[in-house]
């Protein structure tokens, strides 16, 4: 998310007037932007000195422009990541813990005697976790506003992403629950899924700062699309990108919910 613009007639201006300017467009919320600006400034200074001699003052100015319309602080970047992390942990841990406990108490087996289908059971669990997550989001936004003065845009795109995450992460938890036979192992299994996503999906820092191999891995993590979508809708006001991330998240949600219903065995001991 960076762009260096060299205007038409740049070389002529340097030759004729010995002064010119270039524009550097950057995402100011990116922690690497400050370093990049310093590198570009140093390069232009060296270029001017090469043309006119070391004694000539720097005649090339670098005009820094933000590619977003609002001044984004780190806390503004962080709050959507916290919301995404909350949706992840409440959804996965909630589904895994409940199913592990119910399986241990033989409640899952008893559900086979009821008219409830496996898909209905999963959707009910997803709905419950979505309510819990919504309450948590309201609390996060309130304290973000009250303590740090964070203001975000809440629109249909934000709601769509929260719904998508509310379906997706409990769905992942329901799939994982099929491989956890005891309640004691539920937390360990959930941690194995959630911790890599929290640290690689842009929750705490921009993914651009990660090594290339970790960037590739992050692209396959569902939380990446939730975090990116929430920032696009709440902070950067980019609805088209928010919609794209929502569609991807909804597709993954359908996949995991259906997979969870297929893997679940009512009569498992």
25-58 tens-digit pLDDT: 877 656 666 777 788 878 877 776 776 655 555 5
Q: Which two tokens stand for residue 105?
A: 């108490």
Is residue 181 pLDDT above 80, yes or no? no
The residue among 25 and 75 whose pLDDT is bigger is: 75
pLDDT at 70: 58
Mean pLDDT of 126-152: 88
Closest to 245 in 3D by CA, of 228, 262, 266: 228
Burial 135-155 (b: 16+ CB within 10 A, else e): ebbeebbeebeeeeebebeee
The answer for residues whose C-beta is within 8 angstroms of residue 105's C-beta and 6 or more apart is none
Determine phi and psi for 142, rounding to 5 degrees.
-65, -50
pLDDT band at 234; cut points 50, 70, 90: very high
Distance CA 36, CA 213 (A): 22
Mean pLDDT of the chain: 83
Tell me how far CA of residue 266 lies from CA of 117, 132, 200, 248, 254, in angstroms. 10, 26, 35, 30, 21
pLDDT band at 94; cut points 50, 70, 90: confident
Residue 235, H or E segment: none
Burial 157-167 (b: 16+ CB within 10 A, else e): bbebbbbbbbb
Distance CA 150, CA 7 (A): 37
Closest to 206 in 3D by CA, of 225, 222, 228: 228
177 in Cβ contact with 95 (< 8 Å): yes
* Model pTM above 0.75: no
pLDDT at 269: 45
Q: Give me the helices (H) in 111-238, please.
A: 118-148, 156-177, 186-200, 212-218, 222-234
Is residue 59 pLDDT above 60, yes or no? yes
- Alpha carbon 128 to its chain centroid, in Å, reads 23
Mean pLDDT of 50-72: 65
Spell out the domain ranges in the chain. Answer: 2-66, 74-263
The answer for residues whose C-beta is within 8 angstroms of residue 102's C-beta and 6 or more apart is 108
- Alpha carbon 173 to its chain centroid, in Å, reads 19
Long-range interactions of 45-54: CB distance < 8 A, separation 24+: 48/14, 51/14, 52/18
pLDDT tens for 96-133 read 888 878 877 778 778 778 888 878 888 888 888 888 88
The residue among 207 and 25 whose pLDDT is bigger is: 207
Distance CA 161, CA 225 (A): 9
pLDDT at 116: 80
């Amino acid at each position: 998310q960076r762009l260096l613009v060299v205007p038409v007639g740049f070389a002529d201006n340097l030759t004729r007037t010995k002064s010119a300017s270039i524009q550097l467009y950057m995402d100011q919320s990116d922690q690497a932007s400050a370093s990049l600006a310093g590198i570009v400034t140093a390069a232009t200074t060296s270029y001017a000195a090469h043309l006119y001699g070391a004694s000539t003052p720097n005649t090339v100015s670098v005009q820094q422009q933000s590619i977003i319309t609002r001044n984004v602080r780190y806390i503004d970047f962080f709050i959507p990541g916290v919301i995404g992390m909350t949706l992840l942990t409440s959804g996965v841990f909630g589904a895994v813990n409940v199913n592990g406990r119910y399986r241990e108490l033989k409640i899952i087996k008893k559900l086979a005697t009821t008219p409830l289908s496996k898909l209905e059971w999963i959707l009910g669990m997803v709905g419950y976790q979505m309510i819990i997550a919504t309450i948590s989001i309201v609390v996060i936004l309130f304290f973000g506003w009250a303590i740090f003065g964070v203001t975000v845009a809440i629109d249909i795109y934000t709601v769509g992403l929260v719904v998508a995450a509310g379906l997706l992460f409990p769905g992942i938890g329901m799939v994982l629950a099929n491989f956890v036979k005891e309640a004691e192992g539920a937390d360990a299994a959930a941690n194995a899924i959630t911790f890599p996503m929290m640290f690689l999906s842009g929750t705490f820092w921009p993914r651009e700062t990660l090594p290339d191999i970790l960037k590739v891995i992050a692209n396959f993590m569902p939380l990446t699309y939730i975090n990116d979508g929430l920032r696009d809708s709440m902070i950067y006001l980019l609805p088209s990108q928010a919609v794209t991330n929502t569609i991807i998240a909804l597709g993954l949600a359908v996949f995991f919910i259906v997979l969870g219903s297929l893997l679940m065995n009512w009569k498992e001991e």
